[in-house]
Amino acid sequence: MQVFYSNEIDGKHCFLSEEESKHASKVLRLRKGDEVCVTDGNGVLYKGSMAEINSGKCIIWIEEELKRQRRKAQELHLAVAPTKNADRIEWMLEKAVELGLSAFTPIVCSRSERRNINIERLERIALSAMKQSLNLFKPVINEAVAFDKFITANKSGSLYIAHCIEADAIGENYKTESLFTIKPALGENMTVLIGPEGDFTPDEVRKAVNAGYKPVSLGESRLRTETAALVAANYFYIQVNS
């Protein structure tokens, strides 16, 4: 059954946004009375039927609550330097949301190839992936932020910076561990920093470590940015579902 998202659920009625309404009326060609599901993005899935259909604002009649999810005890926040090719970061975001990503922040680093990010498009991609995977909590998509500002503002939970810089380039006081040998404390959220194609600079790694982040590796292979982000997301998925 088709799943929609709405932040306008009022008792027995649900109002779809213009974009969701266009999808219902123009793409899916739904008709009055057709059964659908809708989520509020806060863990609840409802069953309903189309009460009014137009491309501006569709109305769904809510019939029953089908499912109520609990928010995960642990949540993942990926902070990733966007790739030069926007398609790659969009694909990564889609798959990471399917794996349970809770928050995403584009970070602008010294070696970033892309600094202008279409946040509205990323939000649409994340929303679509949330509905497809039946993860009923809407991920938070943040505006792009400078690397230095991000590591200063994000101090809670288990903090990691993934890189593949040789140890002697960073310094003996910045020992790197494998992420896969570290298990976050139960109930503790994870934030993972993923750098641009040219990796973080040694200075950025040192700054992050001094701000409380643990330097970690993601294996022996040198991974593309979007691959590294998905490896971290998959590691998180296994941790919370094992």
**Per-residue burial over 89-99, b = 16 or more CB atoms within 10 Å of its CB, e = otherwise:** bbebbbbbbbb
Same-domain status, 44 and 82: no
DSSP bridge partners of 108: 146
Q: What is the mean pLDDT of residues 85-106?
A: 95
The pLDDT tens digits for 188-209 are 899 999 999 999 999 999 999 9
3 state SS of 193: strand
Specify whether 175 is located in the same domain as 85. yes
206 and 115 within one domain: yes
Bridge pairing between strands 35-39 and 44-52 = antiparallel
pLDDT band per the 50, 70, 90 thresholds, residue 234: very high
Residue 74 confidence (pLDDT): 87
Does one domain contain both 63 and 83? no
Surface-to-core class of residue 131, CB atoms within 10 Å of its CB (0-12 exposed, 13-18 middle, 19+ buried): buried
Residue 53, token pair as written in the block: 């259909």
Of 125 and 10, which is predicted with more confidence?
A: 125
Q: Is pLDDT of 212 > 80? A: yes
Q: Do 82 and 35 share a structural domain?
A: no
> CATH code at 19?
2.40.240.20
Residue 172: pLDDT over 80: no
Q: Is the pLDDT of residue 239 over 90?
A: no
Q: Is residue 100 domain-shared with residue 140, that is, in the same domain? A: yes
Per DSSP (E only), the strands in 6-90 are 9-10, 13-15, 35-39, 44-52, 59-68, 76-80
The answer to whether residues 81 and 40 belong to one domain is: no
pLDDT of residue 220: 87
Decide which of 68, 88, 112 is a domain's last residue: 68
The residue among 166 and 225 whose pLDDT is bigger is 225
Same domain, 163 and 201: yes
pLDDT of residue 156: 83
pTM > 0.75: yes or no: yes
In terms of domains, do 146 and 125 share one?
Answer: yes
Domain count, the chain: 2
What CATH number should be reported for the domain holding residue 158? 3.40.1280.10
Write out pLDDT tens, residues 60-79.
999 999 999 988 878 999 99
Instruction: Give me the percent of the chain exceeding a pLDDT of 70.
Output: 100
Q: Which of 68, 88, 109 is the last residue of a domain?
A: 68
Residue range of the domain that includes 100: 76-241
